[in-house]
Amino acid sequence: MSTEKKVPVTILTGFLGSGKTTLLNRILSEEHGKRIAVIENEYGEVGIDQGLVINADEEVFEMSNGCICCTVRGDLIRVLGNLMKRRDKFDYVLVETTGLADPGPVAQTFFMDDEIRDEFSLDGIVTLVDAAHIDQQLGRSDESSEQVAFADVLVLNKTDLVSDESLDILESRLRDMNRMARVVRSKQADVSIDTVLNLSAFDLDQVLKRRPTFLEPEYPFEWTGVFSLERGRYELSLEEGPDPTMSLVAMEDQGINEVALNDGAESCVRLYADSAELLHPGSTVPIGKHVSLQLQSNGRKSFFLELDHATQIGLFTQHTAEEFDIKVSTVDSSITENDGKNDSMVKPATERTWVAEHEHDDEVGSIAIERVGDVDPEKLNKWLSRLLAEKGVDIFRTKGFISYAGDSRRIVFQGVHMLFTAQPDKEWGSEPRRNQLVFIGRNLDEKEMTKEFEKCLV
Amino acid sequence: MSRIEAFTPKGMLHKGWSAQVEDYAISCGWVLQGKAFLVGDSAGGIYSFEGKSGDVIWKKKEVHKGGLLAMSIHPEGKSFATAGQDGRVLIWDSKEGELSKVLDLGKGWAEQIKWSPNGQFLAVTLSRYVYVFCANGQEQWRSDQHPSTVSAIAWSNSNELATACYGRVTFFDVVTNKVNQKLEWQGSLVSMVLSPNGDIVVCGSQDNSVHFWRRSTNQDSEMTGYPGKPSQLAFDQSGTVLATGGSEIVTVWSFQGDGPEGTVPGRLTLHADFISSLAFSHSGMLLASAARDGSVFAWFLNNNGQGDPVGGAFVGELVSQVAWRPDDCALAAVNAKGGITVWDFKVRTKGFA
């Protein structure tokens, strides 16, 4: 009887020309120690230089019951079924799908087929995105957005062909569509192998161990600028932007490294929860308070900062600096009458754009529900069963953990379309009991789903 | 899944001989009236063992680059054919292990291979195509492209070949090049067996069901509720009962009377894990079943599909195939670790061991 470990399988998806074969060759050339079997659905112009390469035409098998979650990939079952008889010859499998492949059946194959399930584990889905073309592809084809939605890792490739600004916009679009995935950028698929192999992305235990909260937090602010300022008076000037008001918190002693920025952001979330004080132009901005800048009048508007000692001020603003053209300048007391004009603008020591809560433009998107407390297992089960039965076709992936009332252990769950597993995980211990769920799918109703989930809370 | 504890051969199975091949034993069979036993392994090795002692008569290494996928023994037992990942078919002489023909089908896996009942033709699949060769290696017939990879083939008579793929079973006359019948059903057919008279076509399906058609009446039925996919299917020589895998229980359907529709199947429960191979004896109602847990049992079946165990043994590894010797007086099992075990099959004269 075999008790050997299951062989991990990584799926590489992405449109033709996104760099799948380049990444594949990179992995094969760098992973000397590993014996990797490659199943190739797409025969591109770039050859694969390695021993164990199996070409197989993609064969999508729907079942007679018409159930979408029973749809599997016949070619993978056949090829993996034969490969497992030679498992001493390799210890990793890479599958390169065609550009138009639907990742659903690929993932489902590893859950639906009893023999494949016994021998192989789906390690992760890596989707390559051609930074220069994905915008059009997302607009044109369902496959493209589904490949983004299913991904555990999104490799934003060919970044050298696109401006940094469009990359940021693209990245935030992709994050909106799939909040579970890690996004990495590359020029010629030159990503570190660790970011694409051995992810155990379908082993939720592992995912949670690595990233205790795997959700990228969404903040009520989009931008932070940190300014090193001497003692004195400063002008904060803004143009009219898309909204008549904008929320802001100014933090003292704000560090500029990643940890300090995250700490500042978290403190700010609490301040943002307080109701904002409305500030008219000309007012002084208080430190460490949630304010709402009134920006309704025409022209550039000025607010002031008064500092009695040198410090680093972090401005956490509801919108990005660009949208309102935010500028910080020193106000020299000797030239205050210089009708507001001065050329002593202070450049920020660092800037950071955050993933913001906002509307999702794409049909495909992620919904995250995070609530403290316990849920009633029966109610939750009822709701999820109904939800997946009704919307399973449109829900691509589900991941999360829940706190069942009366259970000392955390329940981790995950699903692909209607297939769904929930398993007890570690003890809660002294950790505060809470629930975190992510759904990725098409046309999901966040309000409705959140409301329904809240009904399941005890 | 519960695990089985090792046990010594019981009942009518008596210790015979054992041997070892290099890799996962994929296929096996008796040749030369049971005087020799052939095994093909996944590394492309083929071996001939002396039927009584288990001594190696001859062996060949890596006959298929990339690995061997299938083996078929000629009905007369004097020759056999192998197919592999190199897209080639090799025809061998059983006695000396001499290669007599090399047929190169091209790029792809040659996955299924079957001699016709009278040994005149050899059918081979290569992805979506099926080729039929004469015993001398000449190509007799070639199919058009199937809608998906051909997953199983079976001869219904000396000239008629059935092919199964996603969505359908097709019957071809390989001499007149005609499609005799097409049976369609939306499902991924993973295995196929025909009743000995060729009337009943049975397919195991990816959606954990068994589908069958009666060719003469066009009546078809579906047996659902299997926990796994029923890849293992076997008819007894009279065509009365059909044994199926797809779970740790052997489910036996009886075609007596109006059955099996509306009848309760026999359920043979002793294995602790999913069935991996089924084989009926050459005469009578003896069934050998083997499982992923390494257990092997022999059963005596009634016409209604119910049965009782008459012997059992344990080999410790997933059993890839079981094969009765032509005289049904020995049973062989080959496994995933390359282990070969052969038991004598006879009534115990002294009580159980």
DSSP of A153-205, one letter per residue? Answer: EEEEE-GGGS-HHHHHHHHHHHHHH-SSSEEEE-SSS---GGGTSS--TT-HH
Q: Which residues pair with A53 in a beta bridge?
A: A38
* pLDDT band at residue A286 using 50, 70 and 90 as cut-offs: very high
Q: Which of A2, A55, A114 sits opposite B229 (nearest CB)?
A: A114
Q: What are phi and psi of A367, to 5 degrees?
A: -125, 130
Nearest residue to B208 via CA among A14, A72, A255: A72
pLDDT digits 0-9 by tens, B73-88: 999 999 999 999 999 9
Task: Give the range among A91-105, A146-160, A264-278 with minimum mean pLDDT.
Answer: A264-278
Q: Which residues pair with A153 in a beta bridge?
A: A126, A182
pLDDT exceeds cutoff 50 at B1: no
* pLDDT band at residue A182 using 50, 70 and 90 as cut-offs: confident
pLDDT exceeds cutoff 80 at A355: no
pLDDT digits 0-9 by tens, B309-321: 999 999 999 999 9
- Mean pLDDT to the nearest integer, A331-359: 66
pLDDT given at position B281: 96
pLDDT given at position A332: 67
* pLDDT band at residue A221 using 50, 70 and 90 as cut-offs: confident
pLDDT exceeds cutoff 80 at B60: yes
Instruction: Provide CB contacts within 8 A for A443, sequence distance 6+.
Output: A363, A394
Distance from CA of A151 to the nearest CA of B (A): 26
Q: How far apart are CA A158 and CA A144, in angstroms?
A: 17
pLDDT given at position B4: 63
Q: Does A57 touch chain B (CB under 8 A)?
A: yes
Distance from CA of A196 to the nearest CA of B (A): 27
| Interchain pair B185, A64: CB under 8 A | yes
Q: How far apart are CA B168 and CA B177, in angstroms?
A: 18
Tokens of B239: 């065509």
Q: How far apart are CA A200 and CA A209, in angstroms?
A: 11
For B219, counting Cβ atoms within 10 Å of its Cβ (0-12 exposed, 13-18 middle, 19+ buried), the class is exposed
pLDDT given at position A205: 60
pLDDT given at position A333: 54
pLDDT given at position A2: 42
Radius of gyration, alpha carbons of chain A: 26
Residues of A in Cβ contact (< 8 Å) with B127: 57
Residues of A in Cβ contact (< 8 Å) with B228: 114-115
Domain residue spans in chain A? 3-210, 223-353, 364-454
pLDDT given at position A344: 82
pLDDT digits 0-9 by tens, A123-148: 899 999 999 888 778 877 778 888 99
pLDDT given at position B2: 45
A115-126 in b/e form (b: 16+ CB < 10 A) is: bbebbbbbbbbb
Mutate to test the interface with A, among B185, B188, B222, B275 (most CBs of A within 10 A): B188
Q: How many CB atoms lie within 10 A of CB B65?
A: 11
| Interchain pair A72, B188: CB under 8 A | yes
Q: In which element (H, E) is residue A77 found?
A: helix A74-83
Q: Does A136 touch chain B (CB under 8 A)?
A: no
Q: Does B338 touch chain A (CB under 8 A)?
A: no
pLDDT exceeds cutoff 70 at A49: no
Report yes or no: A308 and A324 within 8 Å, Cβ to Cβ: no
Q: In the CATH hierarchy, which fold is given to the domain comprising A3-210?
A: Rossmann fold (3.40.50)
- Mean pLDDT to the nearest integer, B199-208: 94
Q: Which chain A residues in 390-449 lie under 8 Å from chain B, judged by CB atoms?
A: none
Q: Does B58 touch chain A (CB under 8 A)?
A: no
Residues of B in Cβ contact (< 8 Å) with A83: none
Q: Does B336 touch chain A (CB under 8 A)?
A: yes
Residue-averaged pLDDT of chain B: 93
| Interchain pair B227, A75: CB under 8 A | no
Q: Tell me the three state secondary structure of residue A108.
A: helix
- Mean pLDDT to the nearest integer, A79-102: 88
| Interchain pair A1, B3: CB under 8 A | yes
Report yes or no: A312 and A255 within 8 Å, Cβ to Cβ: yes
pLDDT digits 0-9 by tens, B230-244: 999 999 999 999 999
Task: Indicate left, alpha or beta for A357 from its phi (over 0: left) and psi (-120 to 50: alpha).
Answer: beta
Q: Does A62 touch chain B (CB under 8 A)?
A: yes
Residues of B in Cβ contact (< 8 Å) with A82: 42, 67, 69, 85, 109, 111
Sheet holding B275-280, edge to edge: B10-11, B307-314, B295-301, B286-291, B275-280
Task: Indicate left, alpha or beta for A91 from its phi (over 0: left) and psi (-120 to 50: alpha).
Answer: alpha
Q: What percent of chain A has pLDDT over 70?
A: 89
Mutate to test the interface with B, among A39, A68, A70, A85 (most CBs of B within 10 A): A85
Residues of A in Cβ contact (< 8 Å) with B274: 114
Residues of A in Cβ contact (< 8 Å) with B109: 82
Q: Does A42 touch chain B (CB under 8 A)?
A: no
Q: What percent of chain B has pLDDT over 90?
A: 88
Nearest residue on chain B to A61, alpha-carbon basis: B188
Q: In which element (H, E) is residue B149 found?
A: none
| Interchain pair B294, A1: CB under 8 A | yes
pLDDT exceeds cutoff 80 at A324: yes
Q: How many CB atoms lie within 10 A of CB B227?
A: 12
Residues of B in Cβ contact (< 8 Å) with A72: 188, 206
* pLDDT band at residue A367 using 50, 70 and 90 as cut-offs: confident
pLDDT given at position B24: 95
Q: In which element (H, E) is residue A206 found?
A: helix A204-210
Q: Does B187 touch chain A (CB under 8 A)?
A: yes
CA torsion B167-B173-B174-B176 (nearest 10°) is -130
Give pTM, 2 decimals.
0.75
pLDDT exceeds cutoff 70 at A44: no
| E-only strand ranges, A373-455 | 395-403, 409-416, 419-427, 434-442
Distance from CA of A438 to the nearest CA of B (A): 29
pLDDT given at position B20: 97
Q: Which residues pair with A369 in a beta bridge?
A: A437
* pLDDT band at residue B199 using 50, 70 and 90 as cut-offs: very high
pLDDT given at position B12: 92
Superfamily of domain A364-454: CobW-like, C-terminal domain (3.30.1220.10)
Task: Give the range among A39-48, A264-273, B187-196, B258-267 with minimum mean pLDDT.
Answer: A39-48
Q: Does A113 touch chain B (CB under 8 A)?
A: yes
pLDDT digits 0-9 by tens, B123-141: 999 999 999 999 899 999 9
Q: How far apart are CA B353 and CA B348, in angstroms?
A: 9
Report yes or no: B146 and B138 within 8 Å, Cβ to Cβ: no
Strands B36-41 and B46-50: antiparallel
pLDDT given at position A385: 86
pLDDT exceeds cutoff 50 at A3: no
| Interchain pair B206, A74: CB under 8 A | yes
Q: How many CB atoms lie within 10 A of CB A153?
A: 22
pLDDT exceeds cutoff 80 at A360: no
Q: How far apart are CA B25 and CA B336, in angstroms?
A: 6
| Interchain pair B207, A114: CB under 8 A | no
Residue-averaged pLDDT of chain A: 84
* pLDDT band at residue A357 using 50, 70 and 90 as cut-offs: low
Half-sphere exposure of A242 (CA within 13 A, CB side): 6
* pLDDT band at residue A63 using 50, 70 and 90 as cut-offs: confident
Q: Does B45 touch chain A (CB under 8 A)?
A: no
| Interchain pair A78, B149: CB under 8 A | yes
pLDDT exceeds cutoff 50 at B292: yes
Residues of A in Cβ contact (< 8 Å) with B319: none
pLDDT digits 0-9 by tens, B10-29: 889 999 999 999 999 999 99
